[in-house]
Amino acid sequence: MSRSELQQPTAGTSMTDPVRYPSAASEPVRTKRAFVLVLMTLLVPGSAQIVAGDRRIGRIALRVTLVVWALLLAAVLLLVLNRALLINIITNQFASLVIILVLVALALGWALLFINTLRLIRPVLLAPKARPAVVIALVLALVLSSGSLAYAAYLLNVGRNAIGSIFSAGPAIDPVDGRYNFLMMGGDAGDDRTGRRPDSLSVISVDAKTGRSAIISIPRNLQNAQFSEDSPMRKIYPDGYDCGDECLINAVNTEVTNKYKDLYPGVEDPGARATLEAVSGTLGIKVQAYVLVDMDGFAKLIDAMGGIRIKAGGWVPISGETIDEASGIHGMPLGWIPAGDNTLDGFHALWYGRSREFVDDYARIARQQCVQQAMLKQLDPATLLAKFEDIVKAGTKVVDSNISSSQLGSFVDLAMKAKGQDVKRLTIGPPDFDASFSTVPDFDVIHDKVSQLLASASGPQAAAGTGGTRADGLQADSMVQASAAGGRLQASGLPPAAAPLAAGWNPAQQSPAPPSDFTPVTTTPDGEPITEELLNQLKSEGDEQALRELVATNGQCAPL
């Protein structure tokens, strides 16, 4: 429609119509009209042009608006009826690119509509005092609408790039015996190391239909690990990974990376793949995929989140330089993380999860689980949205996986099903096995225990208050409770290995302890406050035994 046509009254209108012809209207009416047109463009793009401007542009914009509303309604229906499909669409590399381009086009189109609306308002007709308010309202509406769409496109592009960096483009995996088994590795990569040595290993087994889960923790110092029958490493070590004290399960990654990567042609990370095969053979199950969290980038992720809050059961050292590699004795600690309530930045959270001086690996495992819980608990939607870019950028440096990006929707949906359900758990070490078991493991026993665990995790939903731990952040509490009970029994004279058994701990029956069901140890047996100065004095005097006794409870932890 031409400008001359706009000046002519149409059927049902007259030159006195204040909406289409504001010249004859009073100043208050013109001001009200201006705000109404801005609001119409914000709520129903194109409607302002229909009633007050170029109706052809208005009709085109209104059709686009109706199509977008229909697509949003379809997305809501998919969210309710087929959540996995919706997530797969959003995470698909091609589909997400199309969505990004559409969002950018909508943002530009909406911005142009606001500019056209400003022309329809004709600010020169407004009272001088009203003009700034109308312009400010229009700019705010433009930022709220076009700006939100542009920012959504930007965030989707950041997520799209992260998915491409972290996840595989390979084929989808199928469940085995009705379950997906994922190997979670905490990789410790450093300048002095080839490959990433996984210092923490655990398998999360999830029922493919119900989401019911089980967690199996494998100590890093497990010896004679068995490779699965289809593993190329089985030809090198047919009787198990047994080449002396250095052949611990966490050394598989580095050895394969250094010596045997040619056995895995076309595999992006042969060391991680071989470790997955060692865990499969050791547990007697098929582990289909792995997720490796690099501890070097872990601190950046914690900082991007704004830190984590935990309740620590005992003091944890930030270890100094190693003096004796064989005994694990370090020099003077660089600092201490105190018992009690703490807010940890990335550096301190990393040390809290990796320190094992004065305690055993199982205390460290419990702290690592606690850090994971704190991250999940405190990564709420508000934090994620506010710090999305920093979190995603840090995540690309932290996480690596061979999970196919085409299955992200299915697995996210499965994780949502698992949330709030009981999680069964088993540790190939205390409290479920003697501390020396990892040195001379009985694999028939391990296979039997794993089979029992997965059978119980696939059965009917346990009654409230039983069945292990909950998936919403309490999975370490049973270990904490067992450790506390074991500590009390040890104080009574029982040997450490017998304490968990005497405590009656059972991974299929133990009720989770409340997160606050322990008291941080902040004083010595004589009632003297434990301070950094006291701990450093004992260290300088060489009283390692006294230090071990004072920090013995540092495996106890709960997220705040």
- Give per-10-residue mean pLDDT for the chain (560 aa): 44 61 83 93 93 89 94 91 82 87 95 93 89 93 94 86 70 82 73 57 86 85 91 92 82 90 89 93 92 74 85 90 69 91 90 86 79 72 65 65 72 71 80 85 93 80 38 34 34 30 33 60 90 90 88 88
CB neighbour class for 291 (10 Å; exposed up to 12, middle 13-18, buried from 19): middle
Per-residue confidence (pLDDT) for residue 458, from 0 to 100: 75
Where does the chain hold its CATH 3.40.630.190 domain(s)? 296-399+442-559
**Confidence at residue 194, expressed as pLDDT on a 0 to 100 scale:** 46
pLDDT score for 482: 33
Element (H, E) at 332: none
pLDDT at 365: 75
Which are the contacts of 37, defined by CB distance < 8 A and separation ≥ 6? Answer: 48, 52, 117, 120, 121
Evaluate the omega torsion of the peptide bond into residue 431 and state whether it is cis, within 30 degrees of 0.
yes
Distance CA 551, CA 319 (A): 14
Would you say how long the chain is, in residues? 560
CATH code, 296-399+442-559: 3.40.630.190
Contacts 24+ apart (CB under 8 A), 35-39: 35/134, 35/137, 37/117, 37/120, 37/121, 38/114, 38/117, 38/121, 38/134, 38/137, 38/138, 38/141, 39/141
523 secondary structure, DSSP code: B
* pLDDT score, position 376: 67
In 115-178, the DSSP E strands lie at none
Whole-structure pTM over 0.85, yes or no?
no
Distance of alpha carbon 422 from alpha carbon 424, whole angstroms: 7
pLDDT of 306: 85
- Rounded CA gap, 53 and 50, in Å? 6
Minimal CA–CA distance to 419: which of 467, 462, 471, 376?
471
Instruction: Give the per-residue pLDDT at 305.
Output: 82
